[in-house]
Each structure stands twice: as structure tokens, then as C-alpha cells.
Amino acid sequence: MKSHKHLNPEAAHASEWLPNRRQLLAAAGLASVTGLAGAQSAYPARPITIIVGFAAGGIADSLARLAATLLSEQLKQSVIVENRAGAGGTIAAAAVAKAPKDGYTLLMASNGHAVNATMMKQLPFDAVKDFAAVGGVAASPLVVVVRADSPYKTIADLIAAAKAKPMPYGSGGAGTLTHLLPELVASTTGANFTHIPYRGTGPAIIDLMGGQVEFVMDLVQTALPQVQGGKLRALAVSSRQRSMQLPDVPTLAEGAMRGLDAQGWYGLLAPAGTPPAVLDKLNAALNRSLGNPAVIARIIGLGSTPIGGTRDAFMALLRSEVKRWGDIVTARNITA
């Protein structure tokens, strides 16, 4: 397969959208003094709803419930999580896009929201223009895993073998990050990967251990038990910096793709047109919580890293991800 140099992911640097605690607190302080004072003090006067496009129990749901708890504590108002699963998260996104522009209906968005902008035809909303950023919550790296008895000891070994002959890999389904990230690696390195989609990474991992596929790129938090149990070997993680859960495992940026930072990310969006003062108040509340060491530890326990930061930074992340994965979807002719 040809390498598409223009797809080399140099733009999304971790330092641009994974701020440190001091930056989180500074953003919270800045947001707290902006906007219309009247709207700031009046909001929220009733419960807020966070809509999640996936079933309860997954990482998006877990982080939405954490965000709900944090916002409720900061704003002294109930925050409810509502799961509207289906159509790759687009049912939930459509509901939020059409909701009143008052800050009482929010979307827990993920990188799938950015992917859908290109993969899903005739969406009833624009993934960027119909939404306003509240702020990022967390980012979750993927890890490349092979069987414990695999001949591939490093990511360089795996890529070299895949250049010699096609290599099957399993994913959690077409258009998921577990599918698109291997395609990005293939486009950039010239590796020849053959995609085998599954209904979730659980079945893909089972077939990996059974020898039907050669590798899977899964979220760290879901692959970790099998790695720690000695059933899988971790070759590389997709974040720019090493995972705290797998500190001895190198990054893809170290071994194969200089500058890469490709993670699952999660954050809150509101309908476009929501008053800036309301968005600022939500952003400030979120950042105050994400700067708390106990909250940071809790997010790390979920295999993720806090994002936080300004509303503009989160919207910039969304735009860059729409372009990044849109380029991959188009170049590799990926369909849902």
C-alpha cells in the first residue's frame, strides 16, 4: 500500500490539549470573570442533562457520570446522565444539536463524533457548526497488543512483517478508533494490514488469543487485565507520552511514527448559540474539578488523562480531529 505522507499526524500535540494542573486552574479563573454577570448568576436554575450516545458501562458513560458529579458539586445543581445509544452516537448528537440553546442539555462527545462527520452520510447536523464547546474531560490512549507467544517483540517487528505480507488485525468495528488508528499507521509506514471488524474489541481480543488475528489496538483500560495477566504482550501506546498504567511500554511516536498523539478523547458540547456566559460558567466549573488531585487520580484510574483547558482549545481539538480522521476515511475508502 502507498504511504500518504500528508496523513502523518504531526499536528495534534499532547501539549496543545492536555494542560497541566496550573493551566486548568488558570482557565477556570479566566472563565469565571468573563461573560454577562446576570446570566452567570442565574444559571443553572434547574437540572442539567448530559446525553451519552452509548450504553451504560463504557468509558464514555463512566466519564459522563464523573463529569455530572463534578458539575453538580461545583454548580450546586442536579446533573443527570441520559443514555441514548445507537447509530454510532449520532442519535444523541442530533438530540443535543436540536435542543434549546440554554446550557441545560449537553453532549458527552468523543472522537467518534469527529469520525462521523465524514463517515456518516446525510447527518441531520454538522459535527462542528451545530455545537459549542464546553470543555474537554479526558483522553484515553490505545495500546497495540499481540499474543504473549507472538514473534513480534516490538512495534518495529510488527510493521516490518506487515510490509513483507498482509497482516490481519481485529477492531471493535468499522469506523472506530480501533480501526482507524491501524489504518493511519498503515498509511504512514507502508504496512499492509487487513482489517477484520468485530462487534466490540472483546471478541477481537478473544480471536487474537486464538490466533485468528495478529494484533488489536484497544483502549489501555480494557486491554490492561490481559496484559497484566500475561496473556497479551503490549508493544506500544498511542499517546505522545507513556501510559501511567504501562510505563515500560514505548509509544508509537518513539518506535514508528514520530510526533504521533492519537487517543480516544471525551468532552462536553452544547448546542451552537448557547450564551457564552453560560458556556464559560460550565467550563470554569469543569476546570476547577479537573484541577483537583483526587479527581485527577480518579481519571487516571480509568486509564485516562484529564484534558480540561479553554473552550477554544477543545473546539480546536474537535476541528483537527474531524480533518485528521476525515482524511483517513477518504484515503482508505472506509465506510460504516
Predicted local distance difference test score (pLDDT) of residue 335: 83
In this predicted structure, the answer to whether residue 18 has a pLDDT above a threshold of 80 is no
pLDDT at 29: 52
Residue-wise pLDDT for 245-272, tens only, equals 999 999 999 977 888 999 999 999 999 9
Same domain for 20 and 131, yes or no, is yes
pLDDT at 35 over 80: no
d(CA 139, CA 265): 4
Give the residue among 235, 275, 252 at the shortest CA–CA distance from 189. Answer: 252
| Predicted local confidence at residue 303, as pLDDT | 87
173 close to 200: Cβ distance less than 8 angstroms = yes
- Residue 93 sits in a domain whose CATH number is 3.40.190.150
123 and 200, same structural domain?
Answer: no
Residue showing cell 504496512: 191
Instruction: Provide the CATH number for the domain around residue 174.
Output: 3.40.190.10
Claim to verify: residue 65 and residue 162 sit in the same structural domain: no
pLDDT level of residue 27 (50, 70, 90 thresholds): low
Find the domain containing 298 and state its range. Answer: 5-139+264-331
Domain end point (choices 255, 280, 297) = 255
CA distance 229 to 105: 41
Number of neighbouring beta carbons within 10 Å of residue 148: 13
When pLDDT is cut at 50, 70 and 90, the band that residue 21 belongs to is low
Indicate whether 36 belongs to any domain. Answer: yes
> With bands split at pLDDT 50, 70 and 90, how would you rate the model's confidence at 34?
very low
| Position 42 in a domain | yes
Residue 76 has pLDDT above 60, yes or no: yes
Same domain, 59 and 167: no
Indicate whether 12 and 131 sit together in one domain. yes
Domain boundary among 255, 272, 293: 255
- Strands 263-271, 167-171: pairing kind: unpaired
What Rg value do the Cα atoms of the chain yield, rounded?
Answer: 20
CA distance 333 to 225: 34
276 has a pLDDT exceeding 70: yes
**pLDDT band of 19, cuts 50, 70, 90:** low
Cross-strand bridge partners of residue 139: 265, 305
Q: Which three cell numbers stand for residue 260?
A: 504521533
The CA distance from 188 to 196, in Å, is: 20
Reported residue count of the chain is: 336
Q: Tell me the pLDDT tens digit for each residue of 103-128.
A: 999 999 999 999 999 999 889 999 99
Asked if residue 42 and residue 126 are part of one domain, the reply reads yes
Q: What is the DSSP string of 140-191?
A: EEEEEEEETT-S--SHHHHHHHHHHS-EEEEESSTTSHHHHHHHHHHHHH--
**Domain assignment present for 65:** yes
- Indicate whether 336 belongs to any domain: no
Q: Is residue 300 domain-shared with residue 213, that is, in the same domain?
A: no
Q: Which residue has the cell 488523562?
A: 305
* Residue 336: per-residue pLDDT: 72
Is position 78 within any domain? yes
Confidence at residue 121, expressed as pLDDT on a 0 to 100 scale? 85
The pTM of this model reads 0.86
DSSP for 243-280 reads: -SSSTTSPBHHHHT-TT---EEEEEEEEETT--HHHHH
Residue 30 amino acid letter: L
CB 96, CB 271: distance < 8 Å: yes
Lowest mean pLDDT among 15-19, 69-73, 145-149, 161-165: 15-19
Residues 187 and 92 reside in one and the same domain? no
Residues 268, 124 share a domain: yes
pLDDT value at residue 72: 98
Among residues 127, 119, 71, 68, the alpha carbon closest in space to that of 97 is found at 127
Q: What is the pLDDT of residue 11?
A: 38
According to DSSP, the residues that pair with 308 across neighbouring strands are 136
**Number of domains the chain is built from:** 2
pLDDT level of residue 215 (50, 70, 90 thresholds): very high
Residues 35 and 67 in one domain: yes
- Per residue in 39-65, pLDDT tens? 456 999 999 999 999 999 989 999 999
DSSP-derived pairing of the beta strands 215-219 and 167-171: parallel
Question: In this model, does residue 16 exceed pLDDT 90?
Answer: no
Same domain, 134 and 24: yes
Cell of 246: 504501562
The helix (run of H) or strand (run of E) holding residue 330 is helix 311-331
Please report, as a single letter, which amino acid is at residue 18. L
Euclidean distance between CA atoms 275 and 278, whole angstroms = 5
- State the pLDDT at residue 24: 53
- The pLDDT score that the predictor gives to residue 22 is 54
Is the same domain home to 37 and 104? yes
Domain endpoint, select from 220, 255, 290: 255
Residue 9 scores a pLDDT above 60: no
